[in-house]
């Protein structure tokens, strides 16, 4: 044994074991080789990072020998290793954690022989791309052609700023088709924010390129499915990988194109472990691997919008190329926006009379409506009018939500569920009542309102609901979506799940029932999110211009609000994303907020709020002497909006700098200080701490 093999393994988070563990080997192993190594009493999967001849000291230390290599697999490439190392460094996690989390879980359990068998079975040869010539013969719109022409001739990264229904997906399909036709080893990565959007995109890509060329990667797959997709990508046999944020780490030796659809979507940010942004990593990866990157959205994140600003005066402009496609395919118009001033409605109005009449007209014409409320369950609170009892969660600083379907009170934070009490637990009053409403109650309410209305064929009206509760069962979402597409459903009620991406052809009215909460949120991104969501929702209406014309109907987006004068709604009315972005960005520039500054959150969870805050305050003091500290603002520790979850108190501290590099330097120096602090009196009662770089929720 005369080689030292440094291996990335999954060490417990914050174990301070360092990034790589050293083992002994008889021979050097190529970097990127997957292998098994002993760790404590177990054998774990690892990735070789480097091999160097052992020094005498190392020989004397008698390093543990490496285990078997999975030599049926080609080593992970240098670009992949660089991506993982960058992500670990940038998001302040250990290399081993990020590397191993990026691999399919089943790799941990299979031997090299088993893997070899799977490779043979699943991925015999590079998939033949079946070019669907009929589809490629569809005439592109002028805007689509222009966007593609610039994509082919310029380097990017590109921001495809296209209205909902402007044919962005068609642009992705053509860009992929051109690449695969040009280079028969090339691979493309296409990312979507939500698992529930992958089946429809997968269908479109498979229809275009053939079943074998396309694989999916998302967390809704079984471990064997994930492994099969991963192997197909890693071996180069799959030409197109479709997936959610985790797919950004797929090993793709032939990667030449990355698409990030709905790039503004918060789901691209991982919310546990390494809190990476798959969109930002995609841009980094594209640059590292010389792959072209397209970020697409009708409502880009302000970060991407700012990065794609044209040059003006002294400003050389951003580094992204902005491609605009303002028009809808088929010259379809964006829906007319109607604001309902809820101040003028009778007290306790849920759905205004005018909105109900508009929905009724659509039912009579056989068209569909979509009513959107971002709150699931029947009612957010159950309360006693006599003694003031409310359905608080005993473990969290939040109310338990009343779910009428299974008569439970359920905490959406910790999961604690109980049967609904028959009477007030505090005073015995049998008359406890739901306060406020969620999608379940809205569905019930609409059912009552339209109970006597008939469809054109004389049958009864169908109200359906799609949210996280209605889609829990395997296949439920698919069948619910199919019912909407078939025209069976007249009114669809749902959360933001239905607002995104779906290409419903017969929806001519979309209504947001109660979006006001986000207008006055403490999170500075809330208005950006709300605007994006309302624009996306509006994008579900009137997608088929020919259908609208045949119906003699108009697409409408209704918004019920108590603040109709808010500038956000004025911009929404004109579908003017650019104006809204400009005014919000001007405010952010003046206040020195992202994208004009860079942020990180240090969070601490502890037995008491005092302990959590004391830890953060001590951490802040300790940071004074670190490099870069003078260029980074550290704000006081504060409780999180939902301060206690599952009996754990949570606090956070915002740190901010005009320089990304200064912030990164400080964070890197801070890590060991935070580890050490945990073992001092200031760390007493602290359960965990974490760093969130570029946080999306503040």
Angle in degrees, CA 154, 158, 164, rounded to 5: 130
Q: What does the DSSP 8-state code read for residue 299?
A: S
User: What's the closest the beta carbon of residue 396 comes to Zn ion, in angstroms?
Assistant: 3
Shorter beta-carbon distance to ligand ADP: residue 10 or 144: 144
Which partner from the list Zn ion, ligand ADP, none does 168 bind, CB cut-off 5 to 8 Å by kind? Answer: ligand ADP
Which is closer to Zn ion, CB of 431 or CB of 624? 431
The DSSP bridge partners found for residue 216 are 242
Taking the least distance from each CB to ligand ADP, the nearer of 60 and 331 is: 331
Does position 641 interact with Zn ion (CB under 5 A)? The reply is no
- Applying CB under 5 A, the span of 361-369, 415-423, 566-574, 605-613 interacting with Zn ion comes to 415-423
Question: Per CB under 5 A, does 384 bind Zn ion?
Answer: yes
20 binds Zn ion, rule: CB under 5 A: no
Whole-number Cα distances in Å, 348 to 331, 351, 352, 666: 40, 9, 10, 52
Rounded to 10 degrees, what is the CA torsion of 43, 66, 21, 29?
-130
Binding of residue 395 to Zn ion (CB under 5 A): yes
Cα separation, 152 vs 256, in Å, equals 12
By the rule CB under 5 A, 100 interacts with Zn ion: no
Secondary structure of residue 10 in the 3-state scheme: coil
535 binds Zn ion (CB under 5 A): no
Q: Which stretch binds Zn ion (CB under 5 A): 297-305, 329-337, 370-378, 387-395?
A: 387-395
Residue ranges in 298-317 that form contacts with Zn ion under rule CB under 5 A = none
How far is the C-alpha of 447 from the C-alpha of 351, rounded, in Å? Answer: 13
Which partner, Zn ion, ligand ADP, none, binds residue 451 by CB below 5 to 8 Å per kind? none
Among Zn ion, ligand ADP, none, residue 144 binds (CB under 5-8 Å by kind): ligand ADP
User: Residue 24 and residue 40: Cα distance in Å, rounded?
Assistant: 16
Kindly tell me which of 189 and 611 has the beta carbon lying closer to ligand ADP: 189
Tell me how many residues contact Zn ion (CB under 5 A): 15
Residue 424 interacting entry, from Zn ion, ligand ADP, none, C-beta within 5 to 8 Å by type = Zn ion
Tokens at residue 78, please?
């240098």
The one of Zn ion, ligand ADP, none whose footprint includes residue 395, by CB under 5 to 8 A per kind, is Zn ion
Sheet holding 34-39, edge to edge: 21-25, 3-9, 42-53, 34-39
Annotate 585-622 with three-state secondary structure.
HHHHHHHCCCCCCEEEEEEEEECCHHHHHHHHHHHHHH
Q: Which residues contact 109 (CB under 8 A, 6 or more apart)?
A: none
169 binds, among ligand ADP, Zn ion, none (CB under 5 to 8 A by kind): ligand ADP
Binding to Zn ion by CB under 5 A, coded x per residue (else -) over 420-439, reads ----x-xx-x----------
Nearest of 234, 227, 10, 275 to residue 105 by alpha carbon: 227
Burial of 564 (0-12, 13-18, 19+ CB in 10 A): middle
Structure token pair of residue 57: 């000291």
User: Is the four-CA dihedral 198, 201, 203, 208 of positive or negative sign?
Assistant: negative
Whole-number minimum distance, CB 411 to Zn ion, in Å?
3
- What, of Zn ion, ligand ADP, none, does residue 140 touch, CB below 5 to 8 Å by kind? ligand ADP
Using rule CB under 5 A, residue 393 touches Zn ion: yes
Give the shortest CB-313-to-ligand ADP separation in angstroms: 32
Task: Give the shortest CB-542-to-ligand ADP separation in angstroms.
Answer: 12
Task: Give which of ligand ADP, Zn ion, none residue 166 binds (C-beta under 5 to 8 Å, depending on kind).
Answer: ligand ADP
Which of Zn ion, ligand ADP, none interacts with 162 (beta carbon under 5 to 8 A by kind)? ligand ADP
Nearer to ligand ADP, 138 or 476 (CB): 138
Q: Which is nearer to Zn ion, 353 or 428 (CB)?
A: 428
Pick the closer one to ligand ADP by CB: 323 or 645: 323
Is 168 or 376 the residue whose CB approaches ligand ADP more closely? 168
Pairing of strands 633-634, 491-494: unpaired
Decide if residue 188 touches Zn ion (CB under 5 A): no
Whether 189 and 246 have beta carbons less than 8 Å apart is answered as no
As a whole number of angstroms, the distance between CA 186 and CA 252 comes to 9
| Closest CA relative to residue 158, chosen from 30, 350, 296, 341 | 296
Measured from the CB of residue 395, what is the shortest distance to Zn ion in angstroms? 4
Q: How far is the CB of 141 from ligand ADP (least distance, A)?
A: 5
Report DSSP state, residue 384: E
Position 524 contacts Zn ion (CB under 5 A) = no
Binding partner of 413, given ligand ADP, Zn ion, none, CB within 5-8 angstroms per partner class: Zn ion
Strands (E) across 529-680 are located at 556-561, 598-606, 633-634, 638-645, 648-657
By CB under 5 A, residue 390 contacts Zn ion: no
Give contact residues for ligand ADP (rule: CB under 6 A).
138-141, 144, 162, 164-170, 329, 503
325 vs 411 by CB, closer to Zn ion: 411
**Minimum distance of ligand ADP from residue 298's CB (angstroms):** 7
Minimum CB separation of residue 232 from ligand ADP in Å reads 26
What CA–CA distance (Å, rounded) separates 281 from 377?
35
Instruction: Tell the smallest beta-carbon distance from residue 277 to Zn ion (Å).
Output: 28
Which residues fall within 8 angstroms of residue 430, CB to CB, at 6 or more apart? 422, 423, 424
Q: Which does 43 bind (CB under 5 to 8 A by kind): ligand ADP, Zn ion, none?
A: none
* 386 contributes a contact to Zn ion by CB under 5 A: yes
CB of 329 to ligand ADP, least distance (A): 4
Q: CA dist 167 to 163, 195, 296, 502, 695, Å?
A: 8, 21, 11, 13, 31
- The answer to whether 189 touches 241, Cβ cutoff 8 Å, is yes
Place of tokens 């108590």: 562
Number of residues assigned to the chain: 698
Kindly list the residues in this chain that would bind Zn ion in the complex (CB under 5 A): 384, 386-387, 389, 393, 395-396, 411, 413-414, 416, 424, 426-427, 429
């Amino acid at each position: 044994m005369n080689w030292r093999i440094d291996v990335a393994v999954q060490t417990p988070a914050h174990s301070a074991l360092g990034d790589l563990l050293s083992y002994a080997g008889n021979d050097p192993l190529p970097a990127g080789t997957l292998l098994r190594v002993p760790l404590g009493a177990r054998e774990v999967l690892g990735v070789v990072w480097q091999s160097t001849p052992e020094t005498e000291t190392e020989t004397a230390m008698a390093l543990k020998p490496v285990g078997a290599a999975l030599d049926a697999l080609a080593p992970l490439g240098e670009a992949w290793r660089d991506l993982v190392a960058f992500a670990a460094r940038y998001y302040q996690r250990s290399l081993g954690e990020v590397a191993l989390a990026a691999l399919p879980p089943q790799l941990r359990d299979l031997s090299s022989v088993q893997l070899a068998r799977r490779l043979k079975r699943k991925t015999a040869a590079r998939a033949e791309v079946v070019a669907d010539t009929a589809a490629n013969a569809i005439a592109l719109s002028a805007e689509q052609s222009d966007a593609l022409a610039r994509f082919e001739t310029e380097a990017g990264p590109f921001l495809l700023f296209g209205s909902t229904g402007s044919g962005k997906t068609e642009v992705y399909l053509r860009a992929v088709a051109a690449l695969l036709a040009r280079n028969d080893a090339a691979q493309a990565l296409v990312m979507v924010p939500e698992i529930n959007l992958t089946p429809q995109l997968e269908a479109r890509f498979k229809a275009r390129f053939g079943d074998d060329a396309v694989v999916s990667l998302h967390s809704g797959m079984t471990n064997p499915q994930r492994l099969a997709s991963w192997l197909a990508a890693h071996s180069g046999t799959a030409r197109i990988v479709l997936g959610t944020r985790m797919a950004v780490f797929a090993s793709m030796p032939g990667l030449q194109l990355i698409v990030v659809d709905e790039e503004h979507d918060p789901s691209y940010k991982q919310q546990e472990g390494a809190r990476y942004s798959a969109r930002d990593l995609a841009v980094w990866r594209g640059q590292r691997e010389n792959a072209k990157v397209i970020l697409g959205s009708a409502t880009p994140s302000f970060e991407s919008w700012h990065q794609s600003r044209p040059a003006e005066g002294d400003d050389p402009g951003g580094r992204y190329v902005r491609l605009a496609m303002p028009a809808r395919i088929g010259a379809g118009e964006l829906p007319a926006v109607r604001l309902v001033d809820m101040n003028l409605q009778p007290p306790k109005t849920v759905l205004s009379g005018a909105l109900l009449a508009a929905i009724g007209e659509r039912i009579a014409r056989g068209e569909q409506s979509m009513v959107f409320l971002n709150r699931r369950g029947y009612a957010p609170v159950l309360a006693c009018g006599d003694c003031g009892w409310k359905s608080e969660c005993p473990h969290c600083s939040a109310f338990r939500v009343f779910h009428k379907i299974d008569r439970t009170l359920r905490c959406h934070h910790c999961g604690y569920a109980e049967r609904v009490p028959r009477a007030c637990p505090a005073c015995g009053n049998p008359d406890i009542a739901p306060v406020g409403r969620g999608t379940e109650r809205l569905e019930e309410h609409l059912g009552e309102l339209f109970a006597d209305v008939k469809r054109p064929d004389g049958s009864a009206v169908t109200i359906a609901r799609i949210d996280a509760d209605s889609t829990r069962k395997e296949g439920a979402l698919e069948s619910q979506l199919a019912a909407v597409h078939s025209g069976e459903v007249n009114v669809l009620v749902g959360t933001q799940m239905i607002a995104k991406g779906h290409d419903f052809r017969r929806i001519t009215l979309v209504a947001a029932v109660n979006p006001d909460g986000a207008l006055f949120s403490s999170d500075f991104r809330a208005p950006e999110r709300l605007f994006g969501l309302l624009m996306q929702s509006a994008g579900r209406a009137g997608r088929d211009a020919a259908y609208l014309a045949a119906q003699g109907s108009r697409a409408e987006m209704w918004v019920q609000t108590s603040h109709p004068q808010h500038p956000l709604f004025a911009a929404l009315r004109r579908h003017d994303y650019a104006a809204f972005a400009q005014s919000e960005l001007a405010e952010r520039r003046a206040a020195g907020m992202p994208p004009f500054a860079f942020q990180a959150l240090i969070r601490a969870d502890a037995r008491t709020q005092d302990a959590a805050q004391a830890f953060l305050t001590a951490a802040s003091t300790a940071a004074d002497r670190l490099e870069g500290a003078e260029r980074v603002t550290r704000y006081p520790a504060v409780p999180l909006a939902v301060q206690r979850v599952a009996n754990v108190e949570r606090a956070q501290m915002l740190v901010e700098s005009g320089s990304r590099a200064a912030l990164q330097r400080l964070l890197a120096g801070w890590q060991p200080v935070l580890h050490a602090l945990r073992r001092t009196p200031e760390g007493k009662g602290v359960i965990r701490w974490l760093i969130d770089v570029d946080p999306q929720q503040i």
